[in-house]
Amino acid sequence: MARRRFRPQRSNPPVRPRPSVGRAPIGDPMAGSAESGGTAGVLIPEPETQLDEIEIREGPLVAVVMGAESDRVVMAAACDELKERGISFEETVVSAHRDPEQVREYARGARIRGIKVIIAGAGMAAALPGSIAAYTDLPVIGVPIRSENAVSGGLDALLSIAQSPSGVPVACVAINGAQNAAILASRILFA
Ligand code: AIR
């Protein structure tokens, strides 16, 4: 579910180059002109022009992905934190083991859709964060989830995520640490 409340607070918002239509000519400050009402030499930007120049960003910045519907209760803490911070996000349920093709498509398409950080939560043999990181160079934050059939209170998922092989980095928060994942995502966005 996408939230579109986020507005980047940049001191220098990106602007599109525009032709100089609508601006008063730069010339002899004393010359005057019919169009500018006798204020030639003074730049008077038209309000509409200024508004046009600000690029309004569409689409979510953060992807919250989880391996099963049963993970929603834990991952809700990440969504709540992102909402609290006014950061747009989308939520997706996709399993690394059950839907490998969809995981690949999702991860490969994330950057082009404007996603900046991916939070991926899974339990048991939690391959989802690593699978996503294998297909994208976006930062991936893994959330080990203590599932119903967890071994050692979620140690299975923790090790599956934290023990990612070199070359495929996945950040790893605490077991069920979805809120921290969202805070970390926010820090990455504003680094
Ligand atoms: N899981 C789903 N596909 C691969 C994995 N590792 C995880 C889910 C969930 C747990 O298995 O992330 O935490 C149990 O999923 P389910 O669908 O049986 O409830």
What is the per-residue DSSP string for 59-76? S-SEEEEESSGGGHHHHH
Q: Which residues of the chain have pLDDT under 70?
A: 1-57
Report CA(151)–ligand 1 centroid distance (Å). 13
Mean of the per-residue pLDDT values of the chain: 82
Q: How far is residue 175 CA from its own chain's centroid?
A: 22
| Three-point CA angle 10, 14, 17, nearest 5° | 155
User: What pLDDT was estimated at residue 58?
Assistant: 78
Q: Between the CA atoms of 7, 10, 11 and 12, what dihedral angle is there, to the nearest 10 degrees?
A: -100
Atom of ligand 1 nearest to the CA of 145: 13
User: What pLDDT was estimated at residue 56?
Assistant: 60
Report CA(23)–ligand 1 centroid distance (Å). 60
The first and second tokens of residue 1, run together, are 């579910």
User: What pLDDT was estimated at residue 30?
Assistant: 40
Domain 62-189: CATH class, spelled out: alpha beta
User: What pLDDT was estimated at residue 18?
Assistant: 39
Q: List pLDDT tens digits, range 136-157.
A: 999 999 999 999 999 999 999 9
160 three-state secondary structure:
helix
Specify whether the CB–CB gap between 68 and 94 falls below 8 A.
no
Report CA(177)–ligand 1 centroid distance (Å). 17
Q: Which residues contact 57 (CB under 8 A, 6 or more apart)?
A: 6, 7, 8, 114
Asked if residue 126 has its Cβ within 6 Å of ligand 1, the reply is yes
What is the residue with the minimal CA distance to atom 9 of ligand 1?
123
Q: List pLDDT tens digits, range 36-56.
A: 333 455 665 565 555 555 556
What's 124's DSSP letter? S
Report the alpha-carbon distance of residue 121 to residue 124 in Å, rounded.
11
Q: Which residues contact 54 (CB under 8 A, 6 or more apart)?
A: 13, 15
Asked if residue 154 has its Cβ within 6 Å of ligand 1, the reply is no
Domain ranges of the chain: 23-54, 62-189
Hey, which of 64, 65, 74, 95 would you mutate to test ligand 1's pocket, going by the most ligand atoms within 8 Å of its Cβ? 95
